[in-house]
Structures are given as C-alpha cells and as structure tokens.
Amino acid sequence: MKFNLNQIQMKVIRTAPNGVVNHETLFQFSQKENLVQATYSGGQIQLGFLVGSVQESILHFSYCQLQIDGKLDNGMSKAELSHGPENKIRLTEHFEWKSRPGETGTNIFEQC
C-alpha cells in the first residue's frame, strides 16, 4: 500500500526507553514523490530534521536533532507505515543512534 505523508502532522504515542522524542514532540512531514522530509520540535527536542525515501509502506531516513540541553544527536531509521485507529497513519520506527554507538530502539508515531 502506498502512503502519502505530504502535509501530515504526527505525534509520538510510544517512546523507546533510550529515545528522546515523546508525546510533546510534533513532526511536520512533507513528501514529493519518494522523497520525505520532516521538521520536529517539542519536549526535549529544540529542533530536529529527518530526510529519507519511502517505497510502498517502508520509510528509510536519517535524522539529526538538537536537544534543549544542547546535545546534538543523529541516527538512521527504518519505519513501517500502516493505518491505526480511525484510519490514521501510523509509523513504527526502528532507530539506531549513530551518535550513541550500539544503541537502538523503537518509537511509534501517529497522525494528529
């Protein structure tokens, strides 16, 4: 199934124990063909960016974020797109920190 994330807002509904984004973090997505990008902020995140590509229901992306404590983090993610309750787009992200070698986790986002 193809998904279009253009002009979609998402919030985090489940955060990994070692994750930084949370229910206060808001993501603003845009998409042109297979190119997906987003900016995000809120909670512990002062400002974050992600960029990647989507094929059917799989989104691969790289992210970088500046936290409110001044820490700069980055990593890579693979996410599955699906439909959750009320047919809202849901994104299940499997991330690997590059700024914290060996740390991985899973976050779940849902369309606002």
Give residue 16's pLDDT.
Answer: 96
Three-class secondary structure of residue 86 per DSSP? helix
Q: Structural domain boundaries of the chain?
A: 9-17+24-111
Q: pLDDT digit string (tens) for 33-81?
A: 999 999 999 999 999 999 999 999 999 999 999 999 999 999 999 999 9
pTM of the entire structure? 0.95
Q: pLDDT digit string (tens) for 1-14?
A: 789 999 999 999 99
Pairing verdict, β 104-111 and 9-14: antiparallel
38: left (phi over 0), alpha (psi -120 to 50) or beta: beta
Q: Which fold has domain 9-17+24-111?
A: Lipocalin (2.40.128)
Is 106 within 8 Å of 90 (Cβ atoms)? no
Three-class secondary structure of residue 33 per DSSP? coil
Name residue, tokens 């124990």: 17
